[in-house]
Amino acid sequence: MVCGPARYLVFFQYFGTRYSGVMETKSDQALVGVQNYLEEAAQKLKPSSPVKFHISSRTDTGVHALANAAHLDIQRAPGKAPFTAQQLVQGLNHHLKPEPIRILSAQRVPSTFHARFCALSRTYIYRLLLGCAHHSQIPVFERDLCWAPAGG
């Protein structure tokens, strides 16, 4: 008996400074997307077919995420049980090292679940630093965590 793939909802976070955003990009670009790394980590779990992350919302180049959501389907080899949520989180996080991307949680969901279309809400936080006439005035610890519009 062959079972279908197991679908999981995962929540993940990343420090986006060195990525082109969350969505997958061609790997020959200078900056690639967070999705590239997520899918590369999933392939290292040895699924029997390629894994695709379906991400609930997009972010732009340099933008961070405290908790983004995605779903993925993992088909394991015949005779292998689906991953538990804990196994999936630990396995993905192991293969994401040293990237500043972390899986926060995972849970099995029905095959009809879609991370983008089943989302109930999305929250965005914009951090602006006002009053800086020049980018050199941005405090060191705020440099990658806020946007300072030109001209102060």
Query: Mind telling me the catalytic residues?
Result: 60
Instruction: Please state, in angstroms and rounded to a whole number, the distance separating the CA atoms of residues 42 and 87.
Output: 12
For CA atoms 127, 129, 135, 139, give the dihedral sign. negative
Q: From the DSSP assignment, how many helices (H) and strands (E) are in the chain? A: 2, 4
Give SS3 for 105: strand
For CA atoms 152, 141, 104, 102, give the dihedral sign. positive
Give SS3 for 39: helix
Residue 7 has phi, psi (to 5 degrees) of -100, 135
